[in-house]
């Protein structure tokens, strides 16, 4: 379980399927632990203390559902370690199970240094996107501030801290992102993700 509060931005050393990531907290990890990488929950296979890096294997399912296929050496990724028992839940409820890729369709500057970001999602998941509800975008837990149902597009607002401490500051129109929809909404609707139903959500976002 995760919170959507990014702990660190790491750097890809080797792309998937044997993903190798360099980050400061890697030395504190152990094999078998979970780390959320751009919103995808991965299992640590090995740790290189000298390089401060960890390796995690990405399954075909993980590669199919998200954006990891586009990772290259040097790609910056959002990282969060699993929530400890008794820890303060300061963000959202995030499982690390990516539902589908999404795409940034526009960014607007707001007063105070904030940015409004518009993100297109799979149209079949419209019922899971609720204004003032939560959505996890590449590991960042965000609040939906508005919805354009005709374009299957959600609006979120990013504050300066989020822009400077995550990869969100580098998002541009056309950027692909991982999306995890609100788990409470999924249970209420009784719906699985498009990928779970055998559909290729990524193709509809082209």
Q: Encode pLDDT of 33-50 as tens digits.
A: 999 999 999 999 999 999
User: What domains appear along the chain, each with residue ranges and CATH number?
Assistant: 8-81 (2.40.30.20), 100-190 (2.40.30.20)
Q: What is the pLDDT of residues 185-198, one digit of tens each?
A: 888 877 555 545 55
Amino acid 205: pLDDT: 55
Structure tokens at 199: 């559909």
User: What are the residues whose beta carbons fall under 8 Å from the beta carbon of 90, sequence distance 6 or more?
Assistant: 3, 5
Instruction: Return the pLDDT at 185.
Output: 82
* Residue predicted with more confidence, 124 or 200: 124
pTM: 0.89
* Residue 199 to residues 39, 147, 193, 195, 203, Cα–Cα distance (Å): 20, 23, 9, 5, 9
Quick one: average pLDDT of 141-170? Answer: 96
* Beta carbons of 78 and 138 less than 8 angstroms apart: yes
């Amino acid at each position: 379980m995760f919170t959507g509060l990014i702990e660190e931005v790491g750097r890809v050393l080797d792309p998937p399927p044997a993903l190798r990531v360099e980050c400061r907290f890697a030395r504190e990890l152990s094999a078998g632990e979970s780390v959320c990488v751009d919103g995808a929950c991965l299992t640590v296979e090995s740790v290189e203390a000298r390089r401060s890096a960890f390796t995690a294997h990405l399954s075909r399912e993980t590669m199919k559902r998200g954006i990891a296929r586009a990772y290259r050496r040097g790609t910056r990724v959002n990282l969060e370690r699993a929530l400890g028992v008794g820890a303060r839940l300061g963000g959202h409820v995030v499982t690390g199970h990516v539902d589908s890729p999404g795409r940034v369709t526009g960014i607007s500057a707001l007063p105070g240094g904030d940015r409004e970001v518009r993100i297109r999602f799979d149209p079949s998941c419209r019922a899971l996107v609720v204004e003032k509800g939560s959505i996890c975008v590449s590991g960042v837990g965000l609040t939906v501030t508005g919805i354009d149902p005709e374009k299957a597009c959600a609006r979120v607002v990013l504050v300066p801290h989020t822009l400077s401490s995550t990869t969100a500051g580098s998002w541009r129109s056309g950027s692909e992102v991982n999306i995890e929809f609100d788990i409470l909404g999924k249970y209420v609707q009784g719906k699985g993700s498009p990928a779970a139903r055998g559909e290729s959500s990524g193709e509809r976002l082209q």
